[in-house]
Structure 1
Amino acid sequence: MAEDFLAGLDDGLDGLRQRARRVVEVLQGSAVDVPEYDPQAHGSLVSFDGLDGFEEVDRYWVNAPYAFVFIGFDDENDEHRYQVVEPHLDDFEQDLLDTLYDDIRDTLIYDATYDPDDREAVLKAQMQRLLSEYAVDIDPNAFYRLFYYLHRAFEGFEKLDPLMQDPHIEDISCDGYELPLFVYHTEYTDIETNVSYGKQELDSFVVRLAQQSGRHISIGDPVTETTLPDGSRAELALGDEVTPRGSAFTIRKYSEEPFTPATLVDYNTFDLDQMAYLWLAIESNKSLIFAGGTASGKTTSMNAVSMFVPPRSKVLTIEDTRELALYHDNWLSSVTRESGGGGDDITMYDLLRSALRHRPEYIVVGEVRGEEAMTLFQAMNTGHTTYSTMHADSVQTVINRLENDPINVPRAMIQSLDILCVQTLTHVGDERVRRNRVIAEIEGIDQRTGDLDYSTAFEWNATSDSFDQRDSNVLDEIQEERGWSRSELLRELQNRKAVLQYLVEQDVTDYRRFTALVNEYYAQPERVVDRVTEALDAEVTVDAPGVTD
């Protein structure tokens, strides 16, 4: 752990040195000397003596060399604590920070020559200029501590910035005034933090988040859902009328690097058989819906399997808040709009109707909740391949929601859906995990009972934490549509399993590399299969015990 912590510091210092050289270029010709930060010469920017009652279990940088995270465990109360550690400012430095903030803010607002591409260099240059005007002489350590807080305020998320920088955090929850924020950590699940907001501070921050996202929020209209500039999804509430404990927000962080199908297999959310099945189904234009509860991974899975869409196929995505990220050349992304007093609202229903005029081959809808579902199923019935998500915890619940208010899709139209994946957030031992509970296939309407029939192609076995495979009507349809024999179908599935296994074993988490190999498979499947089979055989030969040359 200590080695990782020091390695993170070294990486942060390398970046800091590069940015400092850029500052020197900006200030070239002036009398101001901007030293590069050197921890040995200038001292550490942060210090921390631990947290009383908590044993340290983890420590890592989120913004080296300025801020790190301490994870402690209280054995008596059986709880973890998330502690953000940032540079300390004394009273004089805090007053100086407030003055610098006001003066630099005015400069950045009104300076027509401000270049946003050189934010850090410009900010440091402005600090140097103002400190000279103030006739204040501070040491390099204090300079960089002040810079951290100014950069956090102007370019980051203020005191929330370390949490937003932490790649291990999925969700951030603020429940009201003077209450500690909670985060969902990938390693330690739900943890209380040492970050909290006062009333005025929290109200201002919620308004700022809405404004940065182009949304309106006020006491008269106190709730809004939005996408932050970095792509994270936020639910905001202002004041204490609808949230009695005060303004509140929940942020579901956006991952710049989306999960690949190989990652989902590695996490055992799906197994190789399921993923090969979905790959073949997507190529064969089978429509599917991912269902599950909150944080079950519905959108993550849908985004991942969209990497199986054949290259050059036209894909159109529709969302109310941007979450989908496709590495696909022929992709048209559309997002709903609230009028905010200017023009009309553009709803998912409007976008879906418009989408059909773009002649897409694949339509991906972020989530169906209302009248747009009718248009979605109409698109299915007219030959468009569609994917979407729903909040539901079972196959029957999905059907019930689709057939009843406020969605009201006729049963005869639901049978155009081919596949339904139901995911869950559950526990395996002490570990909190996501699993695809069932893959069901919609078979049509039972002529005797009038009910919608469905069968189970795959089902998760909680006892063994494995997946059971059963007969598949969808695979039978694909076999017939392709004119394959049974052996040809099985060979095709086996080939795709081999490619996926290779990607998992090679730890290909980068979606660009993953998509490149999938696209190569579409172009030259035999060459790809030969290459990955040779690589897998070589690995087995090396790793197999008792095997000698």
Structure 2
Amino acid sequence: MSLIEPPSKGSEATGRASPSWREAPQTHLASGPEWGEARVTYRPATEEYEYEVVEPALSETEAATLHSVLDRLIDELPTGVGPHPEARRRVFRPLALACIRSVAPALSAEAGTRLAYYLERDTLGYGPIDVPMNDPAVEDISCDGAGIPIYVHHRARGSIRTTVRFPTALELDRFVVWLAQRSGRHLSAASPMLEAALPEGARLYATLGTFVTSRGSSFTIRRFRERPLTPVDLIGLGTLAAEPMAYLWLAVESGRSGMICGGTASGKTTTLNALLSFVPPEMKIVSIEDTREIRLPHENWVALVTRSGVGRTNPTTGKPPGEVDMFDLLSTALRQRPQYLTVGEVRGPEAYIVFQAMATGKTCLTTFHAEDVEAMVHRMENPPISLPRALFSALGFVVLQRQIQLGEDHARRVHAITEVVGLDSDTGELITNAAYVWDAGADRFHSTGQSYVLDRIARERNQALADVERELARRAELLELLGVRSDRSSPERPFTYPEFGQAIAQYYRDPIGALAHARAAVERVDRADPPLGPAT
């Protein structure tokens, strides 16, 4: 039986245009297998955007045939095909069409294709949310209850309502149980809440029934890009400029610990992942996360993930059997002697161990929910973290990031890079210095002209500050060249994360040669396809 009834002919989901809506500017189209499509529309009556999912409509006869074919297909599906989606589709499609011909030989080829779409959607895909799950512009998918429209967080439009909803509580209950099973976990009355990872790596939060939510079952799926964003990508998107990015490169390479702070959906983990690409390739990295999000090009990298326990809580340990939490992973990580330790997000007492590791010389990079340095210190000093203020001096820099509105679109910006200078011996207050700030009016980044981090790097390298500043300029130029080369040589396929990692590794081996190579590459691209300019 399908996860949700497909639209019948004549319903709103046929995608027929009506005077009540118009297609939004810069509409993003996303196609699912064969038929599924999404479009962002603007409804003047409500002055709201809407994410419309358009799927093929079925007649009553076709809908009844779909259920019969699905029941038969489930019995005939082979096992051991493997997890790769394309391999599974190659096996599934001929089998689905054969079942359709067997159950309904008189069905037209076009109707058979429509049925095959729903069969694939409901078995290999994600049922009614398959189209947004395949849309690269969708970051989050959220369902708050039966009969309530599903919402998506669109990269350009922010949070918008969709045309998809679960008509009944029973259908939604079945769907969240199915999502849990797909993630290798389970939901029940005894355990009605779930945090897990779907096979594609998306993060799933789900609740079952009315045990913990008054509106019934719910779920939120946080999706991540298939291709992690590189520092060059962030520069191209305007999240940060080349010079402050080169500053962070120097800071990370020199072993300065850092924290990326911001609100929800401000892009903290994306920036953290990008900064980790600056770690020298031979250094050992250990990452610790609740759900796997960090992806690195480094070989010398151990990726640790927490695990939930099963059964009753042990009164001695305070945990159910089999649970592996942040404390366990941090203890394991420190015994492995990593040069770089990264924690996806610190939220509780594990922050104490992270700052202790910083104080002992480990370079730690992590994210934290706070809008500014003052809020970060306040949250850290109070329960449940209760961090002594003296440990803050181990922190080198804080990147402050937020989500902003640019016209009708949403964007992310680093609005300040703040250095932690130390503690005032008289007042005990934290001394900070803003190295770079973002000018919201001009949408530009400015250096304040004073950097204690660069001063320390110069002393550690036994160099003049001017030499370090020249190195900063060289790295900023390299990042700009890599961005130009990526955009002009192949706009549809920019640098992949491993390719960017190789470029950084080459710079570590031969800085002057790598910079010359990047300049020559841009010149070759310009000769082959010169940028458009005024006619002479």
TM-score (norm 2): 0.88
Is 2:453 the counterpart of 1:483? Answer: no
Shift of 1:543: 5.9
Match in the other structure for 1:530: 516
Q: Is the CA contact 1:169–1:253 (under 8 Å) kept in the aligned structure 2?
A: yes
For residues 34 and 511 of structure 2, what CA distance do their matches in structure 1 show? Answer: 47
Match in the other structure for 2:479: 500
The one-letter amino acid paired with 1:415 is S
Q: Is the CA contact 1:230–1:254 (under 8 Å) kept in the aligned structure 2?
A: no
Match in the other structure for 1:232: 202
Q: Is the CA contact 2:354–2:364 (under 8 Å) kept in the aligned structure 1?
A: yes
Aligned length: 501
Q: Is the CA contact 2:93–2:120 (under 8 Å) kept in the aligned structure 1?
A: no
Deviates more, 1:166-175 or 1:182-191: 182-191
The one-letter amino acid paired with 1:55 is R
Alignment counterpart, residue 22 of structure 2, candidates 52, 55, 77: 55
Gapped regions of structure 1 (runs ≥ 5): 1-45
Q: Is the CA contact 1:259–1:509 (under 8 Å) kept in the aligned structure 2?
A: no
Match in the other structure for 1:520: 506
Structure 1 residues 319 and 59, CA gap change in structure 2 (3 angstroms):
closer
For residues 531 and 386 of structure 1, what CA distance do their matches in structure 2 show? Answer: 32
Q: Is the CA contact 2:247–2:472 (under 8 Å) kept in the aligned structure 1?
A: yes
Alignment counterpart, residue 469 of structure 1, candidates 424, 428, 447: 447
Tell me the secondary structure at the aligned position of residue 405 of structure 2. Answer: strand
Shift of 1:120: 2.2
For residues 443 and 312 of structure 1, what CA distance do their matches in structure 2 show? Answer: 29
Structure 1 residues 383 and 71, CA gap change in structure 2 (3 angstroms):
same
Structure 1 residues 544 and 194, CA gap change in structure 2 (3 angstroms):
closer
For residues 442 and 527 of structure 1, what CA distance do their matches in structure 2 show? Answer: 34
Is 2:219 the counterpart of 1:249? Answer: yes
Q: Is the CA contact 1:131–1:137 (under 8 Å) kept in the aligned structure 2?
A: no
How do residues 56-205 of structure 1 correspond to structure 2 at under 5 angstroms? 56-57=23-24, 58=27, 60-63=29-32, 65-108=34-77, 111=78, 118-131=87-100, 133-134=102-103, 136-197=105-166, 198-205=168-175
Structure 1 residues 452 and 166, CA gap change in structure 2 (3 angstroms):
same
Shift of 1:302: 0.2
Alignment counterpart, residue 289 of structure 1, candidates 256, 259, 280: 259
Alignment counterpart, residue 428 of structure 1, candidates 403, 406, 420: 406
Deviates more, 1:88-97 or 1:391-400: 88-97
Shift of 1:90: 1.2
Shift of 1:452: 1.8
For residues 195 and 112 of structure 1, what CA distance do their matches in structure 2 show? Answer: 32
For residues 386 and 116 of structure 1, what CA distance do their matches in structure 2 show? Answer: 35
The one-letter amino acid paired with 2:473 is Q
Shift of 1:56: 2.1
Q: Is the CA contact 2:32–2:130 (under 8 Å) kept in the aligned structure 1?
A: no
Identity between Structure 1 and Structure 2 (%): 39
Shift of 1:462: 1.7
Q: Is the CA contact 1:59–1:68 (under 8 Å) kept in the aligned structure 2?
A: no
Tell me the secondary structure at the aligned position of residue 321 of structure 1. Answer: coil
Match in the other structure for 2:306: 336
Is 2:438 the counterpart of 1:460? Answer: yes
Shift of 1:131: 4.1
For residues 390 and 424 of structure 1, what CA distance do their matches in structure 2 show? Answer: 12
Tell me the secondary structure at the aligned position of residue 277 of structure 2. Answer: helix
Gapped regions of structure 2 (runs ≥ 5): 1-12, 312-319, 488-493
Q: Which has the higher helix share?
A: 1
Shift of 1:133: 4.5
Shift of 1:330: 1.1
For residues 132 and 373 of structure 1, what CA distance do their matches in structure 2 show? Answer: 60
* CA offset digits 1:468-492 (Å, max 9, x no partner): 2121101101111112222311211
The one-letter amino acid paired with 1:445 is L
The one-letter amino acid paired with 2:480 is Q
The one-letter amino acid paired with 1:385 is T
For residues 116 and 186 of structure 1, what CA distance do their matches in structure 2 show? Answer: 28
Match in the other structure for 2:293: 323
TM-score (norm 1): 0.86
Q: Is the CA contact 1:171–1:250 (under 8 Å) kept in the aligned structure 2?
A: yes
Structure 1 residues 67 and 474, CA gap change in structure 2 (3 angstroms):
same
Q: Is the CA contact 1:444–1:454 (under 8 Å) kept in the aligned structure 2?
A: yes
* CA offset digits 1:458-512 (Å, max 9, x no partner): 1122222222212110110111111222231121111101111012222344212
For residues 102 and 335 of structure 2, what CA distance do their matches in structure 1 show? Answer: 61
Is 2:234 the counterpart of 1:267? Answer: no
Q: Is the CA contact 1:271–1:467 (under 8 Å) kept in the aligned structure 2?
A: yes
Tell me the secondary structure at the aligned position of residue 415 of structure 1. Answer: helix
Structure 1 residues 59 and 490, CA gap change in structure 2 (3 angstroms):
closer
* CA offset digits 1:393-412 (Å, max 9, x no partner): 11011111222211122222
For residues 101 and 285 of structure 2, what CA distance do their matches in structure 1 show? Answer: 56
Coordinate RMSD, CA, aligned: 2.3
